[in-house]
């Protein structure tokens, strides 16, 4: 594939450059074709959210940071898009929160698992779970290949961070008694609705923000508990939906 330069005068040049990055990682075997389509869905919701971190998203990031810092066994589940866009931030987040990193894919293939592992290791990861035969355990009630998990990782975790997750799997993880933190631009998706904490934001913005807040809260357990006591995911999600409706009205007036 010949890479075609985005005309710099294009009004959506920044968004187009992120696309080009995903396409590049697609050709490197990291991102699945379905991942490109999923990115497009995210773009549409991001456009409606105003392409910046919102107040409810920031609240959810704080609750997510507190949850990760107070977890017994936290795991960050990584797919192709996440690795392509925020590998370094994921590795830093895992380091500060002492979380494990596990590759988990809807469209599984050992080649792609290894490609993602490679990206994570290049970004500084020392251990990457869930690759090949390591994903030997199964989440109950799931039909897709995504049910396969690492017995040292997601299977025994109490908290799982799932950027860009599938609704079925979020639901199954919650049913297993785990706290699930989702990053999803669609506040109406089943992932968003089923997760314990839903960050309605672009991973490109939410992940570095999560790293920043985790750094601030790292030694303040009291503050973490206070944040968690005051956080209501349903209410927070409703605020994101209200924001989108308000912005649609504004855009429609133009």
Residue numbers at the binding site for a second copy (CB under 8 A): 1-2, 4, 7, 9-11, 19, 22-23, 26, 33-34, 36-45, 47, 107, 109, 143-145, 167-168, 186, 188, 190, 238, 241-242, 244-245, 248-249, 251-252
Q: Which token pair is 103?
A: 């590759």
Nearer to a second copy, 4 or 229 (CB): 4
- By three-state DSSP, how is residue 160 classified? strand
Q: How far is the CB of 93 from a second copy (least distance, A)?
A: 26
Nearer to a second copy, 74 or 105 (CB): 105
Q: How far is the CB of 237 from a second copy (least distance, A)?
A: 8
| CA 127, 132, 137, 142 torsion-angle sign | positive
Q: Which token pair is 114?
A: 């290894």
CA-to-CA separations, 126 to 76, 109, 229, 232, 249, in angstroms, rounded:
14, 22, 34, 35, 48
CB 182 within 8 A of CB 96: no
Q: How far is the CB of 36 from a second copy (least distance, A)?
A: 4
Nearer to a second copy, 102 or 166 (CB): 166
Q: Dihedral of the CA atoms 223, 224, 227, 232 (nearest 10)?
A: -170
**Neighbouring C-beta atoms of residue 44, cutoff 10 Å:** 11
Nearer to a second copy, 23 or 123 (CB): 23
Nearer to a second copy, 124 or 246 (CB): 246
CB 159 within 8 A of CB 64: no
User: Distance (Å, rounded) from C-alpha 202 to C-alpha 69?
Assistant: 22
Q: How far is the CB of 132 from a second copy (least distance, A)?
A: 16
User: Distance (Å, rounded) from C-alpha 20 to C-alpha 1?
Assistant: 12
Q: How far is the CB of 213 from a second copy (least distance, A)?
A: 27
Q: How far is the CB of 73 from a second copy (least distance, A)?
A: 29
Nearer to a second copy, 33 or 230 (CB): 33
């Amino acid at each position: 594939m010949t890479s075609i330069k985005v005309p710099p005068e294009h009004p959506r040049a920044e968004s187009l450059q992120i696309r080009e990055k995903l396409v590049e990682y697609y050709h490197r075997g990291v991102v699945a074709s379905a991942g490109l389509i999923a990115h497009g869905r995210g773009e549409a919701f991001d456009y409606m959210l105003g392409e910046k971190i919102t107040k409810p998203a920031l609240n959810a990031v704080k609750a997510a940071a507190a949850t990760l810092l107070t977890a017994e066994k936290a795991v960050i589940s990584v797919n192709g898009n996440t690795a392509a866009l925020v590998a370094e931030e994921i590795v830093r987040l895992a380091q500060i929160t002492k979380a494990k990193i596990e590759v988990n894919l809807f469209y599984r293939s050992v080649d792609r698992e290894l490609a993602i592992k490679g990206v994570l290791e290049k970004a500084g990861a020392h251990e990457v779970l869930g690759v090949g035969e390591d994903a030997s355990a199964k989440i109950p009630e799931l039909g897709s290949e995504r049910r396969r998990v690492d017995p040292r990782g997601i299977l025994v975790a109490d908290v799982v961070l799932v950027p860009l997750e599938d609704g079925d799997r979020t639901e199954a993880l919650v049913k297993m008694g785990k706290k699930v933190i989702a990053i999803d631009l669609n506040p109406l998706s089943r992932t968003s609705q089923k997760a314990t904490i839903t960050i309605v934001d672009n991973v490109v913005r939410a992940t570095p923000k999560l790293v920043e807040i985790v750094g601030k809260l790292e030694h303040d357990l009291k503050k973490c508990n206070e944040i968690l006591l005051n956080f209501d995911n349903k209410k927070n999600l409703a605020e994101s939906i209200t924001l989108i409706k308000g912005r649609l009205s504004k855009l429609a007036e133009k």
